[in-house]
Amino acid sequence: MLIFTITVQTFWPFLPVKGKADVTNRYHIYNAIPGELNTYLQTHPELQNKRILADNYQIPSMINFYLNPSLEASALSINYHETLYSFLHQDVIFVGNDFLFLKRGKTFPKKFVPYFEEANLLQLFESKRLDQKVAMYSLWSVINYRGKSTPN
């Protein structure tokens, strides 16, 4: 009965829970990636040759699944545990390069400021569920990655 209730709530919300209290929103928080983000990248071809980075492994996993970019998206394991991306893309290959950085929320994370020469906001995206915002993402152009060994 519990599985049935969760399944129904995921597709046809009927329980009086909102926002973070509704755990089934998790199934909808990434829908900005195949939607708004994909459209934005298609209308800005100059960005399509830049690798997308994130601060956790879920975001690049969704980007790689939905968008299949020519340069696989990756995660930076700075103040975060090592992930599969730490082994696929060694930090040293990123040093000195420019990237796109996708972050949940509207602001660039302060902990990443020392690792880039510059971070410029490009666009905000919303993931929605039945016209209700369930997540906000910001896309940044980040210049000259300095590497994990940068003193902060």
From CA 150, how far away is CA 40, in angstroms rounded?
A: 32
Q: Per-residue pLDDT tens for 83-121? A: 777 767 778 889 999 999 999 999 999 989 999 999 999
Whether the predicted model's global pTM rises above the 0.95 cut: no
Instruction: Sheet with 99-104: list strands edge to edge.
Output: 74-75, 52-54, 99-104, 132-145, 116-129
Residue 15: which pLDDT band, with cuts at 50, 70 and 90?
low
Which helix (DSSP H) or strand (DSSP E) does residue 137 occupy? strand 132-145
Do the beta carbons of residue 51 and residue 74 sit within 8 Å?
yes
> Where residue 134 falls among pLDDT bands split at 50, 70, 90?
confident
